[in-house]
Structure 1
Amino acid sequence: MLSVNLSALLMADAQEEVDTEQAQKHNKHRYKVNRAVALGLVKDNLAVLLLGKEPLEQVYDRLLEKIKKRKEAVKPGRSFPRARKLHYKFSITKRNVL
């Protein structure tokens, strides 16, 4: 839970910086921070953050730069509906074994 909260805070800061950088550029797509990468980076560096062997500002800045580098384009209209599941007469928990 701690790593998810820390990654959410870092992602919010990184997204603000990405948005300000993208406002100056005229790219085809809007860019968004990759949530899975941010969570992985925070989980890998959680021990460094908790033990305090490095200054927190230094670890924070390093993580923020790594997260900002791993952004992805948000392409409009990229929605794929999920396949419908089969409906059975009885639920799986109430079927006979044989």
Structure 2
Amino acid sequence: MPYTPSGFFCDRLIRERERRDGEGSLSKPLRFSGQDFNLLKQECMQKKTLFEDDTFQATVESLGYKELGHKSNKVKNIVWKRPKVGGGGGAVQSACEGLRS
């Protein structure tokens, strides 16, 4: 029998129970770092801003390391894109259209 760290079995049972109860489904997604998608969406819509995640920033470092590190040829030509807000005649509202449900 393979070695399992203490708590592993209990953690697995908890995850299975959560899945059975709908946790992790599209209608009841698991929260990452305490983030609530609907609350974040509402705040962005009210402020008319785009969401920027402090945990997963739009930088090469967020992709990983070694094969996807900042010196890797695989990430050399990555261009981080954001919707254009203002300037080109478009309003913040148009940039937030995709957030509406």
- Pair in the same fold by TM > 0.5: no
Q: Which has the larger radius of gyration?
A: 1
Larger proportion of helix: 1
When normalised by structure 2's length, the TM-score is: 0.24
Of structures 1 and 2, the one with the larger relative CO (CA 8 A, separation 6+) is: 1
When normalised by structure 1's length, the TM-score is: 0.25
